[in-house]
Amino acid sequence: MQPDLILHNATVRTMDGDRPLASAVAVAGNRIVAVGDEDEVTALAGPQTRMIDAGGGTLLPGFYESHLHLFAGGVSLSQLNGAAIFGAEALREAVQAFAAANPEADLLVAYGANYTMFGDDVRISRQLLDDAIADRPFYMIACDFHTGWGNSVAMERAGLLQGRDVGPSSEVVMDPDGTATGELREGGAMSLMLALKSTGSRENLGMAGAEPDSVTEAEREADIASLLEGMEYCARHGITKLINMDGNRYQLELLAEMERRGTLPCRIEVPYRIPIDAAGDPVGKAVEMTRDFATDKVSCGRVKMFMDGVFDSWTALKLEDYPDRPGFRGEPIVPPELFARLCTEADAAGLQISVHAVGNGAVRHVLDGYEAAARANGPRDSRHRVEHIDNIHPDDLPRLKALGCVASMQPVHPPGSAGLPLEPTVTLMGRENWPWAFNWRAIADAGVPLCFATDWPISPLDPLYAIQCALTRKPWADGLPDPRIGLDECLAAYTSGGAFAAFDEDRLGRIAPGMLADLVLLAGDLETLHDDGALQVRAVLTICDGQITHEAA
Ligand SMILES: [Zn+2]
């Protein structure tokens, strides 16, 4: 068969044990048909073959982003990025400029805000936000998406200024004077603020496993445009497969529509996020979604749950007391009996399970649930996943392996990396836990398969930046074990590791004949990812399903 495309003059890192290195790859249709030396592959060219000189760059399997939130990410591309904003003056300038550029917005939204924006010991309040902008509703979302802060007019319009019961595990934080401080914790509170947006904020429904009530044709097209914008942004960073980590049927319907139109630049899997009350038959719904969406490009096959929140708002579940709150360790979001039942049902239905677990207590609860499922259903190759693992008790490392779990981790999440401040996170985590914080090395050494991701838009999306963060991570104190893994392991976590973590290893994550043609060409020396400073490597060509989805000018 004559190849449609030959990439040559490349350093091909195949991630394939049989042939780890090559210099040329041929693609026909949506498959890789040959991998080998320059001469042997270019000899396959016919008159219709497009020859691409890789210029000595590195060719990898397309990046596999194992945990992100595409819909919110696509929408965030038109919001104010707060990650680099520190101090009242900087916030005022940024918000005023953003407000002037968005005169029609019902709610001005910033994302990526650091908890310590106004100083290490200053909790963000609506009054501090009023100093930045008082005459229009302004809402700022924390870098971890688990907390938000509204200014006074936003709190007033959302009906939250006098406080409100927002359901379990969520909170409108109150001042002793009886009014709200402006801080909103977790989805039950945060969604009420986002409802102020005339666009309806449908991008966040999947975080709660909710479906929109009714959607007009125009709203549907606007949502498709947001998803496409997010995917094109992924393609520009060399990403070819996404595992979405919020999910509802609505998103799958939009994505399937995009596939029918031939406009999907990435493959995507969307799970069903089991709602917090687990009402009705959530596993049955996930099974239906899995049956109804099952192409090479758009699929389900997974349930997503949350066991805890984050350290910065005391919602991470710990095995010890919080240092500043004796007797308090956080609460499991899903009670153990319910969690064990849901895991057992989902496992019996052949679904994969992914659960957000940040604190060491959350990781333990999640493993208990997976263990209950394995006991009830018998062992199988389940690859249930623990998402994040910011902290783990060393006793639970061998359990991860024994239960056949996969660790899904984010190199851009450790405090001190990717521009994140150390405090308050490292103190709330507790010094005794630092040796087991984001410890990729210990997890990999325990024989646990690892996949990497960014949780975009919670952190910057670029896989190369994430790998640089992994390789350049600084210890929080002297004498801690080095948690880093090497460059090759990082590349694997973003390619073959991601594919394994989603049962895609027979089709994706390796460059070998017969595999689907998902590739990324990188320009620049990968060894420079060991250095701090500006990135020296970038994605110059992305191919998904045999089609070019990004080509740098
Ligand atoms: Zn997430």
How high is the pLDDT of residue 100? 96
> How would you write 196-244 as a 3-class SS string?
CCCCCCHHHHHHHCCCCCCCCHHHHHHHHHHHHHHHHHHHHCCEEEEEE
Ligand 1 centroid – CA 547 distance (Å): 28
Ligand 1 centroid – CA 455 distance (Å): 5
Q: What is the pLDDT of residues 249-282, one digit of tens each?
A: 999 999 999 999 999 999 999 999 999 899 999 9
Average pLDDT, rounded, for the chain: 95
**pLDDT band at residue 247 under the 50/70/90 scheme:** very high
Closest by CA to 197, choosing from 139, 245, 241, is 139
What residues does 268 pair with on adjacent strands?
242, 298
- Residue 364 pLDDT > 90: yes
Ligand 1 centroid – CA 69 distance (Å): 6
Cα gap 543→334, rounded to integer Å: 40
**pLDDT band at residue 186 under the 50/70/90 scheme:** confident
Q: Which two tokens stand for residue 73?
A: 């990410």
Summarize the confidence of residues 90-108 as an average pLDDT.
94
Residue 58 φ then ψ, to 5°: -95, 125
Give 235's contacts (C-beta < 8 A, 6+ positions apart): 265, 266, 542, 544, 549, 550
* CATH architecture of the domain formed by 79-208: Roll (3.10)
Ligand 1 centroid – CA 2 distance (Å): 42
Q: What is the pLDDT of residues 413-450, one digit of tens each?
A: 999 998 888 999 999 999 999 999 999 999 999 999 99
- Every domain of the chain and the residues it spans: 1-56+510-553, 79-208, 307-485
CA atoms within 13 A on the CB side of 149: 26
CATH 3.20.20.140 fits 307-485, yes or no: yes
Ligand 1 centroid – CA 70 distance (Å): 10
Summarize the confidence of residues 16-24 as an average pLDDT.
95
CATH no., domain 1-56+510-553? 2.30.40.10
Which residue is listed with tokens 């591309």?
A: 77
Ligand 1 centroid – CA 307 distance (Å): 12
Summarize the confidence of residues 465-469 as an average pLDDT.
98
Ligand 1 centroid – CA 68 distance (Å): 6
Summarize the confidence of residues 158-164 as an average pLDDT.
95
Ligand 1 centroid – CA 146 distance (Å): 10
**Helix axes 282-292 and 336-348, enclosed angle (nearest 10):** 30
- Residue 208 pLDDT > 80: yes
Ligand 1 centroid – CA 351 distance (Å): 19
Ligand 1 centroid – CA 511 distance (Å): 28
Cα gap 242→254, rounded to integer Å: 15
How high is the pLDDT of residue 35? 98
Ligand 1 centroid – CA 107 distance (Å): 23
Q: What is the pLDDT of residues 374-402, one digit of tens each?
A: 999 998 999 999 999 999 999 999 999 99
How high is the pLDDT of residue 204? 86
Ligand 1 centroid – CA 120 distance (Å): 25
Cα gap 241→104, rounded to integer Å: 35
By the 8 A CB rule, do 248 and 210 touch?
yes
Q: What is the pLDDT of residues 112-149, one digit of tens each?
A: 899 999 998 899 999 999 999 999 999 999 988 889 99
Q: What share of the chain is helix, strand, coil (3-state, %, to 5)?
A: 35, 20, 45
- Residue 200 pLDDT > 80: no
Ligand 1 centroid – CA 37 distance (Å): 41
Ligand 1 centroid – CA 21 distance (Å): 34
